Structure 1
């Protein structure tokens, strides 16, 4: 489920993480926000394709082109129709990503929210969120 997008101060990931925390998909508190980093080159800006209905988000490093799926997205790729994300403010396609996790008391993942911050104009928004209906699921925290 997407939400309204709004300009954010130019303080990078901190602004994005705060936005994801206050989004509270389905009313669930966000317990942890993780910033993905390219495993090949360490860059933190990505082009993003997603299908919010299927809970599939693919990030592609803007520097080296390495792609990875967030959480368990690759498991649902067969059903997904991915669309490229664009900033509603400037049309940019490079984003910092903040993956918010709502956790059950036993630290298993309940809900995932994926926020993006345009590196060009700082506009932030939550572009996808989905419920995790299985366990164990704590391993998803390591797949951003």
Structure 2
């Protein structure tokens, strides 16, 4: 795991670098306390195309290996109102490693979710979507990645 912070955008050498990036990205307001690397439940691959609507709090990933689409976090609740747009790296790359970040409340319930991505073309790291979770229980969201 190596993150280069010397350029305009941080870059990572592997998917696990998303965890450190999300920790730094979220440090001020709602720090990530748990990060889970996203893998396809169907085939186990770890590269995806991603579509997001940050205003509605909605994200969808499509496995580049088997083509299975999955909504992330509680996106099923907002998909009908969402206008999903393709995530793209500044380099133009549209294939990513992905990780789910979670900020927790004192009682262990999820307060905020983060979708961190690493471009497989040039390694640029970013948080492509994040939103507040204002209900409970929330434990099911750890599995909806």
How many residues were matched structurally? 138
Name 1:6's counterpart in structure 2.
Answer: 9
SS in 1 for 2:80: helix
Name 2:43's counterpart in structure 1.
Answer: 41
SS in 1 for 2:117: strand
Name 2:26's counterpart in structure 1.
Answer: 24
Preserved contact between residue 25 and residue 113 of structure 1 (Cα < 8 Å): no
Preserved contact between residue 25 and residue 129 of structure 1 (Cα < 8 Å): no
Measured in 2, the distance between the counterparts of 1:81 and 1:25 equals 29
Preserved contact between residue 117 and residue 123 of structure 1 (Cα < 8 Å): yes
Per-residue CA distance 1:50-84 (angstroms, 9 max, x = gap): 10001110000011100001111011101100000
Measured in 1, the distance between the counterparts of 2:73 and 2:47 equals 18
- Calculate the aligned-residue CA RMSD, in Å: 1.3
SS in 2 for 1:77: coil
Name 2:3's counterpart in structure 1.
Answer: none
Unaligned runs of 5+ in 1: none
User: Runs in 1 of length 4+ with deviation above 4 angstroms?
Assistant: none
Mapping of residues 1-144 of structure 1, within 5 Å? 6-10=9-13, 12-24=14-26, 27-88=29-90, 90-144=91-145
The higher relative CO (CA closer than 8 Å, separation ≥ 6) is in: 1
Unaligned runs of 5+ in 2: 1-7
TM-score by length of 1: 0.91
